[in-house]
Amino acid sequence: MSAFLSAAPPLPAHPDPELAAILGSGLPHELSYALGGPFHLLLPDRFDANAAAFRAVLAEAGVEGRVYYAKKANKAATWIERCALTGTGVDVASAGELRDALGCGVRGEDIVVTGPAKADGLLRVAVLQGCLIAVDALDELDRIIALGRPARVLLRRLPPAQPHSRFGLDEGELETALVRCRDTGLVMEGFSFHLSGYDPRARAELAAELVDLCLKARALGLRADRISIGGGFAVDYTDAEHWERYLREQRPEHYHAGKSFAPADFYPYHSPVAGPDALRAVLAADGLAGRLREAGVRLLLEPGRALLDRAGCTVFRVQGIKDRAGYGIVTVDGSSLSLSEQWFSSEYLPDPVLLSAAVVSEPYAACVGGATCLESDMVTWRKVRLSARPAVGDLLVYPNTAGYQMDSNESPFHDLPLPPKVVLDTAGDRVRWRLDRHPLA
Protein backbone atom coordinates (compact mmCIF):
# COMPACT_ATOMS: atom_id res chain seq x y z
CA MET A 1 0.00 0.00 0.00
CA SER A 2 2.96 2.34 -0.48
CA ALA A 3 1.03 4.07 -3.24
CA PHE A 4 -1.27 5.22 -0.48
CA LEU A 5 1.07 7.03 1.85
CA SER A 6 0.76 10.44 0.32
CA ALA A 7 -2.92 10.41 -0.67
CA ALA A 8 -4.92 13.51 0.20
CA PRO A 9 -7.72 13.11 2.75
CA PRO A 10 -10.85 11.78 1.02
CA LEU A 11 -13.54 14.23 -0.01
CA PRO A 12 -16.42 12.19 -1.44
CA ALA A 13 -19.39 13.98 -2.96
CA HIS A 14 -22.72 13.30 -1.25
CA PRO A 15 -23.98 9.85 -2.32
CA ASP A 16 -26.23 9.90 -5.38
CA PRO A 17 -27.67 6.39 -5.79
CA GLU A 18 -29.75 7.18 -8.87
CA LEU A 19 -26.76 8.58 -10.75
CA ALA A 20 -24.54 5.77 -9.45
CA ALA A 21 -26.94 3.26 -11.01
CA ILE A 22 -26.72 5.05 -14.36
CA LEU A 23 -22.92 5.21 -14.13
CA GLY A 24 -22.82 1.50 -13.30
CA SER A 25 -25.05 0.56 -16.23
CA GLY A 26 -22.29 0.61 -18.84
CA LEU A 27 -23.76 3.71 -20.50
CA PRO A 28 -20.69 5.91 -19.78
CA HIS A 29 -18.37 3.44 -21.53
CA GLU A 30 -20.72 3.31 -24.53
CA LEU A 31 -20.77 7.11 -24.71
CA SER A 32 -17.01 7.35 -24.30
CA TYR A 33 -16.60 4.94 -27.21
CA ALA A 34 -19.19 6.72 -29.35
CA LEU A 35 -17.99 10.26 -28.68
CA GLY A 36 -14.28 9.47 -28.64
CA GLY A 37 -13.40 11.94 -25.90
CA PRO A 38 -14.53 13.37 -22.58
CA PHE A 39 -18.16 14.39 -22.18
CA HIS A 40 -20.53 15.93 -19.70
CA LEU A 41 -23.74 14.25 -18.51
CA LEU A 42 -26.71 16.51 -17.74
CA LEU A 43 -29.75 15.65 -15.61
CA PRO A 44 -32.47 18.22 -16.38
CA ASP A 45 -34.93 16.58 -13.94
CA ARG A 46 -32.64 17.70 -11.12
CA PHE A 47 -32.67 21.26 -12.45
CA ASP A 48 -36.49 21.24 -12.44
CA ALA A 49 -36.55 19.90 -8.88
CA ASN A 50 -34.09 22.53 -7.67
CA ALA A 51 -36.13 25.36 -9.23
CA ALA A 52 -39.32 23.93 -7.72
CA ALA A 53 -37.65 23.76 -4.30
CA PHE A 54 -36.76 27.47 -4.47
CA ARG A 55 -40.34 28.30 -5.47
CA ALA A 56 -41.66 26.19 -2.59
CA VAL A 57 -39.62 28.26 -0.12
CA LEU A 58 -41.15 31.47 -1.48
CA ALA A 59 -44.65 29.98 -1.21
CA GLU A 60 -44.03 28.67 2.31
CA ALA A 61 -42.96 32.17 3.42
CA GLY A 62 -46.00 33.72 1.71
CA VAL A 63 -43.71 35.86 -0.43
CA GLU A 64 -44.49 36.64 -4.06
CA GLY A 65 -41.44 36.10 -6.18
CA ARG A 66 -39.72 34.66 -9.18
CA VAL A 67 -36.72 32.43 -9.83
CA TYR A 68 -34.41 33.36 -12.74
CA TYR A 69 -31.69 30.89 -13.79
CA ALA A 70 -28.32 32.69 -14.09
CA LYS A 71 -27.37 31.34 -17.49
CA LYS A 72 -23.64 31.88 -17.22
CA ALA A 73 -23.34 28.93 -14.82
CA ASN A 74 -23.75 26.45 -17.71
CA LYS A 75 -24.21 27.01 -21.44
CA ALA A 76 -26.38 23.96 -22.24
CA ALA A 77 -29.68 24.52 -24.03
CA THR A 78 -31.53 21.97 -21.94
CA TRP A 79 -31.74 24.21 -18.83
CA ILE A 80 -33.21 27.07 -20.85
CA GLU A 81 -35.69 24.77 -22.56
CA ARG A 82 -36.80 23.64 -19.10
CA CYS A 83 -37.08 27.26 -17.95
CA ALA A 84 -39.34 28.03 -20.91
CA LEU A 85 -41.58 25.08 -20.07
CA THR A 86 -41.72 25.55 -16.30
CA GLY A 87 -42.08 29.34 -16.15
CA THR A 88 -38.65 29.79 -14.62
CA GLY A 89 -37.07 33.07 -15.69
CA VAL A 90 -33.57 33.43 -17.12
CA ASP A 91 -30.81 35.89 -16.16
CA VAL A 92 -28.64 36.80 -19.16
CA ALA A 93 -25.64 39.12 -19.46
CA SER A 94 -24.77 39.20 -23.17
CA ALA A 95 -26.45 39.42 -26.57
CA GLY A 96 -25.54 35.77 -27.20
CA GLU A 97 -27.15 34.61 -23.96
CA LEU A 98 -30.26 36.68 -24.69
CA ARG A 99 -30.51 35.26 -28.22
CA ASP A 100 -30.16 31.74 -26.89
CA ALA A 101 -32.82 32.25 -24.22
CA LEU A 102 -35.29 33.74 -26.73
CA GLY A 103 -34.45 31.00 -29.24
CA CYS A 104 -35.16 28.28 -26.68
CA GLY A 105 -38.62 29.74 -26.13
CA VAL A 106 -38.22 31.94 -23.06
CA ARG A 107 -40.35 35.06 -23.45
CA GLY A 108 -38.69 38.45 -23.16
CA GLU A 109 -40.84 39.38 -20.18
CA ASP A 110 -39.38 36.37 -18.32
CA ILE A 111 -35.78 37.46 -18.86
CA VAL A 112 -33.69 39.72 -16.65
CA VAL A 113 -30.61 41.28 -18.23
CA THR A 114 -27.67 41.83 -15.86
CA GLY A 115 -23.97 42.41 -16.44
CA PRO A 116 -22.00 45.68 -16.58
CA ALA A 117 -21.86 48.23 -19.42
CA LYS A 118 -24.30 46.33 -21.62
CA ALA A 119 -23.66 46.59 -25.35
CA ASP A 120 -26.08 48.72 -27.39
CA GLY A 121 -27.20 45.67 -29.39
CA LEU A 122 -28.06 43.85 -26.17
CA LEU A 123 -29.99 46.83 -24.79
CA ARG A 124 -31.91 47.29 -28.04
CA VAL A 125 -33.11 43.68 -28.21
CA ALA A 126 -33.81 43.64 -24.47
CA VAL A 127 -36.02 46.71 -24.73
CA LEU A 128 -37.81 45.46 -27.85
CA GLN A 129 -38.49 42.12 -26.17
CA GLY A 130 -39.75 43.65 -22.91
CA CYS A 131 -36.96 42.18 -20.77
CA LEU A 132 -36.27 43.55 -17.31
CA ILE A 133 -32.90 45.37 -17.42
CA ALA A 134 -30.78 45.67 -14.27
CA VAL A 135 -29.08 49.03 -14.86
CA ASP A 136 -25.49 49.07 -13.65
CA ALA A 137 -24.40 52.65 -14.48
CA LEU A 138 -25.80 56.09 -15.27
CA ASP A 139 -24.46 56.12 -18.83
CA GLU A 140 -26.16 52.80 -19.42
CA LEU A 141 -29.44 54.30 -18.20
CA ASP A 142 -28.95 57.16 -20.65
CA ARG A 143 -28.40 54.74 -23.52
CA ILE A 144 -31.65 52.97 -22.61
CA ILE A 145 -33.50 56.28 -22.50
CA ALA A 146 -31.98 57.22 -25.88
CA LEU A 147 -33.68 54.19 -27.46
CA GLY A 148 -36.91 56.13 -26.99
CA ARG A 149 -39.04 53.09 -26.22
CA PRO A 150 -40.84 51.98 -23.09
CA ALA A 151 -38.28 50.05 -21.07
CA ARG A 152 -38.49 48.05 -17.84
CA VAL A 153 -35.57 48.65 -15.48
CA LEU A 154 -34.20 47.74 -12.07
CA LEU A 155 -31.46 49.90 -10.56
CA ARG A 156 -28.52 47.84 -9.36
CA ARG A 157 -27.27 48.88 -5.93
CA LEU A 158 -23.53 48.93 -5.19
CA PRO A 159 -23.38 46.82 -1.99
CA PRO A 160 -22.32 49.19 0.83
CA ALA A 161 -20.61 46.23 2.51
CA GLN A 162 -18.54 45.57 -0.65
CA PRO A 163 -17.52 49.15 -1.51
CA HIS A 164 -14.78 47.96 -3.88
CA SER A 165 -17.23 46.11 -6.09
CA ARG A 166 -17.08 47.38 -9.64
CA PHE A 167 -20.81 46.76 -10.04
CA GLY A 168 -23.84 48.85 -9.21
CA LEU A 169 -24.75 52.46 -8.46
CA ASP A 170 -23.64 54.24 -5.31
CA GLU A 171 -26.01 56.35 -3.23
CA GLY A 172 -25.52 59.56 -5.20
CA GLU A 173 -25.85 57.77 -8.55
CA LEU A 174 -29.07 56.12 -7.35
CA GLU A 175 -30.59 59.53 -6.53
CA THR A 176 -29.72 60.79 -10.00
CA ALA A 177 -31.04 57.61 -11.64
CA LEU A 178 -34.37 57.84 -9.83
CA VAL A 179 -34.93 61.39 -11.00
CA ARG A 180 -34.01 60.42 -14.58
CA CYS A 181 -36.42 57.48 -14.48
CA ARG A 182 -39.20 59.78 -13.28
CA ASP A 183 -38.49 62.49 -15.84
CA THR A 184 -38.29 60.12 -18.81
CA GLY A 185 -41.16 57.78 -17.97
CA LEU A 186 -39.12 54.58 -17.75
CA VAL A 187 -40.91 51.71 -16.04
CA MET A 188 -38.75 51.63 -12.90
CA GLU A 189 -39.71 48.29 -11.36
CA GLY A 190 -37.32 48.27 -8.42
CA PHE A 191 -33.75 47.57 -7.33
CA SER A 192 -31.23 44.75 -7.48
CA PHE A 193 -27.88 43.56 -6.15
CA HIS A 194 -25.60 40.57 -6.53
CA LEU A 195 -23.29 39.92 -3.60
CA SER A 196 -20.11 37.87 -3.63
CA GLY A 197 -19.92 35.26 -0.92
CA TYR A 198 -22.72 33.12 0.42
CA ASP A 199 -23.87 34.79 3.64
CA PRO A 200 -27.70 34.77 3.94
CA ARG A 201 -27.67 37.52 6.58
CA ALA A 202 -25.75 39.95 4.34
CA ARG A 203 -28.37 39.32 1.63
CA ALA A 204 -31.27 39.89 4.05
CA GLU A 205 -29.77 43.17 5.26
CA LEU A 206 -29.25 44.58 1.82
CA ALA A 207 -32.67 43.31 0.70
CA ALA A 208 -34.27 45.21 3.59
CA GLU A 209 -32.49 48.36 2.44
CA LEU A 210 -33.82 47.83 -1.07
CA VAL A 211 -37.38 47.50 0.27
CA ASP A 212 -36.94 50.93 1.86
CA LEU A 213 -35.58 52.25 -1.42
CA CYS A 214 -38.73 50.96 -3.16
CA LEU A 215 -40.90 52.97 -0.76
CA LYS A 216 -38.79 56.05 -1.45
CA ALA A 217 -39.01 55.55 -5.21
CA ARG A 218 -42.78 55.16 -5.03
CA ALA A 219 -42.96 58.58 -3.39
CA LEU A 220 -41.53 59.88 -6.69
CA GLY A 221 -44.36 58.16 -8.56
CA LEU A 222 -42.30 55.16 -9.74
CA ARG A 223 -43.64 51.60 -9.66
CA ALA A 224 -40.81 50.04 -7.58
CA ASP A 225 -42.62 46.84 -6.62
CA ARG A 226 -39.82 44.24 -6.80
CA ILE A 227 -36.23 43.65 -5.77
CA SER A 228 -33.69 41.14 -7.03
CA ILE A 229 -31.24 39.66 -4.57
CA GLY A 230 -29.11 38.02 -7.29
CA GLY A 231 -27.53 34.61 -6.80
CA GLY A 232 -24.93 33.20 -4.46
CA PHE A 233 -26.92 30.38 -2.88
CA ALA A 234 -24.23 27.95 -1.80
CA VAL A 235 -24.06 24.36 -2.98
CA ASP A 236 -23.28 21.65 -0.46
CA TYR A 237 -21.01 19.13 -2.21
CA THR A 238 -19.81 17.07 0.74
CA ASP A 239 -20.47 16.48 4.42
CA ALA A 240 -19.08 18.51 7.31
CA GLU A 241 -16.84 15.78 8.64
CA HIS A 242 -14.91 15.17 5.42
CA TRP A 243 -14.69 18.88 4.68
CA GLU A 244 -13.33 19.86 8.08
CA ARG A 245 -10.83 17.03 7.96
CA TYR A 246 -9.69 18.10 4.50
CA LEU A 247 -9.10 21.68 5.57
CA ARG A 248 -7.29 20.56 8.69
CA GLU A 249 -5.02 17.96 7.15
CA GLN A 250 -4.30 18.97 3.55
CA ARG A 251 -0.69 19.94 2.93
CA PRO A 252 1.70 20.19 -0.05
CA GLU A 253 2.78 16.52 0.17
CA HIS A 254 -0.78 15.59 -0.75
CA TYR A 255 -0.42 17.26 -4.12
CA HIS A 256 1.58 16.46 -7.22
CA ALA A 257 4.83 18.49 -7.40
CA GLY A 258 4.32 19.75 -3.84
CA LYS A 259 1.69 22.21 -5.08
CA SER A 260 0.06 24.20 -2.32
CA PHE A 261 -3.32 25.85 -2.03
CA ALA A 262 -4.58 28.39 0.46
CA PRO A 263 -7.71 26.93 2.07
CA ALA A 264 -9.36 30.34 1.70
CA ASP A 265 -9.15 29.95 -2.10
CA PHE A 266 -11.23 26.77 -2.09
CA TYR A 267 -14.92 26.99 -2.83
CA PRO A 268 -16.75 26.20 0.47
CA TYR A 269 -17.54 22.64 -0.61
CA HIS A 270 -19.53 22.08 2.53
CA SER A 271 -22.22 24.55 3.55
CA PRO A 272 -24.54 23.73 6.43
CA VAL A 273 -27.15 26.04 4.89
CA ALA A 274 -27.28 25.74 1.11
CA GLY A 275 -29.55 26.14 -1.92
CA PRO A 276 -33.25 26.64 -1.09
CA ASP A 277 -32.42 26.47 2.64
CA ALA A 278 -30.22 29.53 2.15
CA LEU A 279 -33.22 31.35 0.64
CA ARG A 280 -35.26 30.29 3.66
CA ALA A 281 -32.56 31.76 5.91
CA VAL A 282 -32.55 35.03 3.94
CA LEU A 283 -36.32 35.35 4.28
CA ALA A 284 -36.24 34.56 7.99
CA ALA A 285 -33.44 37.02 8.85
CA ASP A 286 -34.66 40.38 10.23
CA GLY A 287 -38.24 39.43 9.42
CA LEU A 288 -37.53 40.06 5.74
CA ALA A 289 -40.50 37.96 4.54
CA GLY A 290 -42.90 40.13 6.55
CA ARG A 291 -41.33 43.35 5.30
CA LEU A 292 -41.68 42.23 1.69
CA ARG A 293 -45.33 41.31 2.22
CA GLU A 294 -46.18 44.56 4.03
CA ALA A 295 -44.48 46.70 1.41
CA GLY A 296 -46.00 44.72 -1.46
CA VAL A 297 -42.54 44.02 -2.87
CA ARG A 298 -41.88 40.88 -4.94
CA LEU A 299 -38.62 38.99 -4.44
CA LEU A 300 -36.63 38.02 -7.53
CA LEU A 301 -33.64 35.71 -7.27
CA GLU A 302 -31.02 34.65 -9.79
CA PRO A 303 -29.42 31.39 -8.67
CA GLY A 304 -26.92 29.82 -11.05
CA ARG A 305 -24.87 27.15 -9.30
CA ALA A 306 -27.66 26.17 -6.88
CA LEU A 307 -30.13 25.32 -9.67
CA LEU A 308 -27.50 22.99 -11.15
CA ASP A 309 -26.75 21.15 -7.92
CA ARG A 310 -26.39 17.40 -8.70
CA ALA A 311 -27.60 18.08 -12.23
CA GLY A 312 -24.51 16.86 -14.05
CA CYS A 313 -21.10 15.21 -13.99
CA THR A 314 -18.03 15.03 -16.23
CA VAL A 315 -16.52 11.85 -17.63
CA PHE A 316 -12.93 11.46 -18.80
CA ARG A 317 -11.29 8.32 -20.20
CA VAL A 318 -7.94 7.20 -18.83
CA GLN A 319 -5.42 7.45 -21.62
CA GLY A 320 -2.21 6.65 -19.76
CA ILE A 321 -0.78 5.87 -16.34
CA LYS A 322 2.69 6.23 -14.84
CA ASP A 323 3.91 5.05 -11.46
CA ARG A 324 5.92 7.59 -9.50
CA ALA A 325 7.29 7.41 -5.97
CA GLY A 326 4.27 6.78 -3.78
CA TYR A 327 1.59 7.67 -6.33
CA GLY A 328 0.59 7.53 -9.95
CA ILE A 329 0.09 10.08 -12.68
CA VAL A 330 -3.07 9.38 -14.64
CA THR A 331 -3.48 11.19 -17.95
CA VAL A 332 -7.01 11.58 -19.27
CA ASP A 333 -8.33 12.32 -22.75
CA GLY A 334 -9.22 15.96 -22.09
CA SER A 335 -7.87 18.96 -20.22
CA SER A 336 -8.40 20.99 -17.10
CA LEU A 337 -10.11 23.61 -19.27
CA SER A 338 -13.18 21.41 -18.78
CA LEU A 339 -13.01 21.71 -14.98
CA SER A 340 -12.91 25.43 -14.54
CA GLU A 341 -12.17 25.52 -10.81
CA GLN A 342 -8.62 24.55 -11.75
CA TRP A 343 -8.17 28.03 -13.25
CA PHE A 344 -8.88 30.03 -10.10
CA SER A 345 -5.77 29.13 -8.06
CA SER A 346 -7.92 26.42 -6.59
CA GLU A 347 -8.80 22.76 -7.04
CA TYR A 348 -12.11 21.02 -7.74
CA LEU A 349 -12.28 19.01 -4.55
CA PRO A 350 -15.17 16.52 -4.75
CA ASP A 351 -13.32 13.25 -5.42
CA PRO A 352 -13.49 11.77 -8.92
CA VAL A 353 -14.78 8.19 -9.01
CA LEU A 354 -13.09 5.47 -11.06
CA LEU A 355 -15.26 3.28 -13.29
CA SER A 356 -12.92 0.37 -13.76
CA ALA A 357 -13.14 -3.01 -15.40
CA ALA A 358 -10.81 -4.38 -12.70
CA VAL A 359 -12.40 -7.18 -10.70
CA VAL A 360 -9.83 -7.44 -7.95
CA SER A 361 -8.73 -4.06 -6.80
CA GLU A 362 -6.42 -2.44 -4.32
CA PRO A 363 -6.73 1.29 -3.66
CA TYR A 364 -4.29 3.52 -5.46
CA ALA A 365 -3.31 7.19 -5.10
CA ALA A 366 -3.00 9.28 -8.23
CA CYS A 367 -3.10 12.81 -9.54
CA VAL A 368 -4.80 13.46 -12.87
CA GLY A 369 -3.27 15.34 -15.77
CA GLY A 370 -4.73 16.54 -19.06
CA ALA A 371 -3.62 15.30 -22.48
CA THR A 372 -1.74 18.50 -23.26
CA CYS A 373 1.90 19.58 -23.16
CA LEU A 374 1.51 21.97 -20.22
CA GLU A 375 2.95 21.00 -16.84
CA SER A 376 0.18 23.04 -15.23
CA ASP A 377 -2.70 21.32 -17.03
CA MET A 378 -3.76 19.25 -14.04
CA VAL A 379 -7.38 18.13 -13.78
CA THR A 380 -6.57 17.13 -10.20
CA TRP A 381 -3.35 18.21 -8.47
CA ARG A 382 -3.96 16.21 -5.36
CA LYS A 383 -3.24 12.52 -5.03
CA VAL A 384 -6.72 11.05 -4.85
CA ARG A 385 -7.39 7.62 -3.43
CA LEU A 386 -8.90 5.70 -6.33
CA SER A 387 -10.52 2.30 -5.82
CA ALA A 388 -7.92 0.62 -8.04
CA ARG A 389 -4.87 1.35 -10.18
CA PRO A 390 -6.61 2.65 -13.30
CA ALA A 391 -6.11 0.92 -16.61
CA VAL A 392 -6.21 2.58 -20.01
CA GLY A 393 -9.86 2.73 -21.05
CA ASP A 394 -11.22 3.10 -17.52
CA LEU A 395 -13.33 6.18 -16.89
CA LEU A 396 -12.98 8.90 -14.28
CA VAL A 397 -16.20 10.63 -13.27
CA TYR A 398 -16.09 14.07 -11.65
CA PRO A 399 -19.30 14.51 -9.66
CA ASN A 400 -21.62 17.52 -9.55
CA THR A 401 -19.86 19.61 -12.18
CA ALA A 402 -22.86 21.28 -13.88
CA GLY A 403 -22.45 24.51 -11.88
CA TYR A 404 -19.64 26.48 -13.56
CA GLN A 405 -17.18 23.58 -14.03
CA MET A 406 -18.18 22.39 -17.49
CA ASP A 407 -17.74 25.22 -19.86
CA SER A 408 -16.74 28.58 -18.45
CA ASN A 409 -13.07 28.08 -19.37
CA GLU A 410 -13.32 25.61 -22.22
CA SER A 411 -11.08 25.98 -25.24
CA PRO A 412 -10.14 23.63 -28.09
CA PHE A 413 -6.47 23.99 -27.04
CA HIS A 414 -4.20 21.49 -28.87
CA ASP A 415 -7.11 20.90 -31.25
CA LEU A 416 -8.72 18.74 -28.60
CA PRO A 417 -12.48 18.77 -29.24
CA LEU A 418 -14.72 20.40 -26.65
CA PRO A 419 -16.51 17.78 -24.57
CA PRO A 420 -20.09 17.40 -25.80
CA LYS A 421 -22.99 17.58 -23.38
CA VAL A 422 -25.20 14.51 -23.17
CA VAL A 423 -28.69 15.00 -21.75
CA LEU A 424 -30.07 12.08 -19.76
CA ASP A 425 -33.82 11.65 -19.79
CA THR A 426 -34.64 9.68 -16.65
CA ALA A 427 -38.42 10.11 -16.76
CA GLY A 428 -39.36 6.80 -18.43
CA ASP A 429 -38.64 3.24 -17.34
CA ARG A 430 -35.26 3.30 -19.04
CA VAL A 431 -32.65 6.04 -19.23
CA ARG A 432 -32.41 7.63 -22.68
CA TRP A 433 -29.77 10.05 -23.90
CA ARG A 434 -29.35 12.70 -26.56
CA LEU A 435 -26.88 15.46 -27.33
CA ASP A 436 -27.74 18.83 -25.81
CA ARG A 437 -27.24 20.63 -29.09
CA HIS A 438 -26.98 18.56 -32.21
CA PRO A 439 -23.61 19.28 -33.83
CA LEU A 440 -25.33 19.85 -37.19
CA ALA A 441 -28.02 22.13 -35.79
Ligand X SMILES: *Cc1c(COP(=O)(O)O)cnc(C)c1O
Contacts of 76 (CB under 8 A, 6+ apart): 42, 406, 421, 423, 436, 437
Nearer to ligand X, 63 or 73 (CB): 73
Nearer to ligand X, 231 or 328 (CB): 231
200 binds ligand X, rule: CB under 6 A: no
Find the binder of ligand X among 28, 190, 276, 303 (CB under 6 A): 303
Minimum distance, C-beta of residue 73 to ligand X, in the bound complex (Å): 5
Minimum distance, C-beta of residue 195 to ligand X, in the bound complex (Å): 9
Nearer to ligand X, 122 or 371 (CB): 122
Find the binder of ligand X among 9, 275, 276, 304 (CB under 6 A): 304
Minimum distance, C-beta of residue 403 to ligand X, in the bound complex (Å): 7
Nearer to ligand X, 6 or 271 (CB): 271
89 binds ligand X, rule: CB under 6 A: no
Find the binder of ligand X among 230, 275, 370, 399 (CB under 6 A): 230
Nearer to ligand X, 266 or 381 (CB): 266
How many residues bind ligand X (CB under 6 A)? The answer is 15
Could you tell me which stretch among 22-30, 31-39, 299-307, 430-438 binds ligand X (CB under 6 A)?
299-307
13 binds ligand X, rule: CB under 6 A: no
Minimum distance, C-beta of residue 136 to ligand X, in the bound complex (Å): 9
Query: How, if at all, do strands 353-355 and 39-42 pair?
Result: unpaired
Three-state DSSP string of the chain: CHHHCCCCCCCCCCCCHHHHHHHCCCHHHHHHHHHCCCEEEECHHHHHHHHHHHHHHHHHCCCCEEEEEEHHHCCCHHHHHHHHHHCCEEEECCHHHHHHHHHCCCCHHHEEECCCCCCHHHHHHHHHCCCEEEECCHHHHHHHHHCCCCCEEEEEECCCCCCCCCCCECHHHHHHHHHHHHHHCCEEEEEECCCCCCCHHHHHHHHHHHHHHHHHHHHCCCCCCEEECCCCCCCCCCCHHHHHHHHHHCCHHHEHHHCCCCHHHCCCCCCCCCHHHHHHHHHHHHHHHHHHHHHCCEEEECCCHHHHCCCEEEEEEEEEEEEECCEEEEEECCCHHHCHHHHCCCCCCCCCEEECCCCCCCCEEEEEECCCCCCCCEEEEEEEEECCCCCCCCEEEECCCCCCCCCCCCCCHHHCCCCCEEEEECCCCCCEEEECCCCCC
Nearer to ligand X, 302 or 333 (CB): 302
Minimum distance, C-beta of residue 193 to ligand X, in the bound complex (Å): 8
Nearer to ligand X, 306 or 368 (CB): 306
277 binds ligand X, rule: CB under 6 A: no
91 binds ligand X, rule: CB under 6 A: yes
97 binds ligand X, rule: CB under 6 A: no
111 binds ligand X, rule: CB under 6 A: no
399 binds ligand X, rule: CB under 6 A: no
Contacts of 330 (CB under 8 A, 6+ apart): 318, 320, 321, 366, 367, 368, 369, 386, 390, 396
Find the binder of ligand X among 227, 274, 285, 306 (CB under 6 A): 306
Nearer to ligand X, 61 or 70 (CB): 70
231 binds ligand X, rule: CB under 6 A: yes
| Residue 63 to residue 289: CA distance in whole angstroms | 6
275 binds ligand X, rule: CB under 6 A: no
394 binds ligand X, rule: CB under 6 A: no
70 binds ligand X, rule: CB under 6 A: yes
190 binds ligand X, rule: CB under 6 A: no
168 binds ligand X, rule: CB under 6 A: no
Find the binder of ligand X among 55, 66, 71, 72 (CB under 6 A): 72
Minimum distance, C-beta of residue 255 to ligand X, in the bound complex (Å): 27
| Selection from 430, 364, 436 nearest residue 394 by Cα | 364
Output the residue with the shortest Cβ distance to ligand X.
231
Residues that bind ligand X (CB under 6 A): 70, 72-73, 91, 114, 194, 230-233, 302-306
